[in-house]
């Protein structure tokens, strides 16, 4: 808000104090938030690196809202600087995840950025395999190959809670009620040898 109000020097001073604190604490979403704030007051040359760091910091973590915030910011920056292909791919991923998580504000922001990039937003699927996010599909495939939630969490570098959240969402979209039902119907639901996807 300070930047939009024209108080750039005050914003820089605030970021200079908060980002190092967040990095010392080591909480991913706080670090990513601080990096996004730093990007807002940085030079154009530095902005992209800060936004990429923010996105990477919360990638494959439970902090999906912060990941989407960073994705929208980076996608808009890439589009504005002529990297349309990369921008569109990222913004579509954000749009899909925001829609599926019910994050309407972020969904609308990503859709707006997509349109500014000259892309036509795709129809958003709400059920079936096509509606799974990449993270949900990966976790479902690992479950179908016989891995436990803790093993999946270690393999993907996330918490067990994050795996449970992804599976709850995936089960709803696939119309299954349990892990056993998924295992019994994996060929029908996934249409592939799920174990081969997990390798």
Residues 72, 95 contacting (CB under 8 angstroms)? no
Spatial separation of the C-alpha atoms in residues 30 and 34, rounded to whole Å: 6
Q: Do domains 8-116 and 129-198 have the same CATH topology?
A: no
The domain 129-198 having CATH identifier 1.10.10.10: the answer here is yes
| High-pLDDT (> 70) share of the chain, % | 79
* 194 pLDDT above the threshold of 70: no
pLDDT at residue 7, as a whole number? 46
The verdict on domain 8-116 having CATH code 1.25.40 is: yes
Cα 87 to Cα 95: distance, rounded to the nearest angstrom: 12
Can you give the residue ranges of every domain in the chain? 8-116, 129-198
pLDDT per residue as tens digits for the range 72-127: 999 999 999 999 899 988 998 888 788 767 788 888 899 899 888 888 766 555 56
| Tens-place pLDDT, residues 162-180 | 888 888 888 888 878 888 8
Question: Any idea how long the chain is?
Answer: 199
DSSP 128-141: SGGG--HHHHHHHH
Q: What is the pLDDT of residue 137?
A: 85
In this prediction the pTM is 0.57
């Amino acid at each position: 808000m300070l930047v939009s109000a024209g108080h750039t020097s005050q914003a820089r001073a605030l970021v200079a104090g908060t980002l190092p604190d967040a990095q010392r604490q080591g909480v991913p979403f706080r670090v990513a938030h601080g990096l996004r704030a730093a990007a807002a007051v940085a030079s154009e040359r530095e902005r992209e690196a800060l936004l990429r760091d923010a996105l990477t910091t919360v990638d494959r973590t439970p902090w999906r809202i912060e990941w989407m915030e960073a994705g929208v910011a980076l996608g808009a920056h890439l589009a504005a600087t002529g990297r349309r292909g990369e921008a569109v791919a990222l913004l579509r991923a954000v749009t899909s995840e925001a829609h599926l998580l019910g994050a309407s504000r972020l969904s609308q922001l990503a859709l707006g950025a997509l349109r500014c990039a000259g892309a036509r937003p795709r129809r958003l699927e709400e059920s079936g395999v096509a509606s799974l996010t990449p993270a949900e599909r990966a976790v479902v495939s690992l479950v179908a190959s016989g891995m436990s939630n803790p093993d999946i969490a270690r393999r993907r570098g996330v918490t067990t809670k994050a795996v449970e959240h992804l599976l709850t969402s995936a089960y709803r979209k696939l119309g299954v009620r349990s892990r056993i039902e998924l295992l019994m119907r994996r060929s029908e639901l996934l249409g592939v040898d799920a174990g081969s996807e997990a390798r």
